[in-house]
Amino acid sequence: MLSSDTDFLTLKLESTGGRPVIDYLLTRDSALSIVAISGGSKAKEIRLDLIKAFEQKQTGVLLNVD
């Protein structure tokens, strides 16, 4: 179960005419945990992409949006 203290941040945005928008920003560890337990058909590809992205960030290499 996710905890708002350690696993995600809540970001409340202004309304654009309807209900206020609430975004949930996952921590790195929470995002990796969710992907790790996912059994979807693209889960392995996403896991590898995330690992690569975090390695690039750690080494200071710019991330490619592609």
Nearest Cα to 51, choosing from 41, 40, 63, 39? Answer: 63
Q: Is this model's pTM higher than 0.75 or not?
A: no
The DSSP output letter for 2 is -
More confident position, 57 or 5: 57
Query: What is the tens place of the pLDDT at every residue in 4-48?
Result: 567 888 888 887 777 888 888 888 788 878 877 888 778 888 878
Q: Angle 10-8-20 (CA atoms, 0-180°, nearest 5)?
A: 20
Task: Calculate mean pLDDT across residues 42-58.
Answer: 80
Q: Is the pLDDT of residue 50 over 80?
A: no
What mean pLDDT is predicted for residues 51-64?
73
DSSP 4-34: TTTTEEEEEE--SSSSPEEEEEE-HHHHHHH
Give the whole-angstrom CA distance, residue 36 versus residue 47: 7
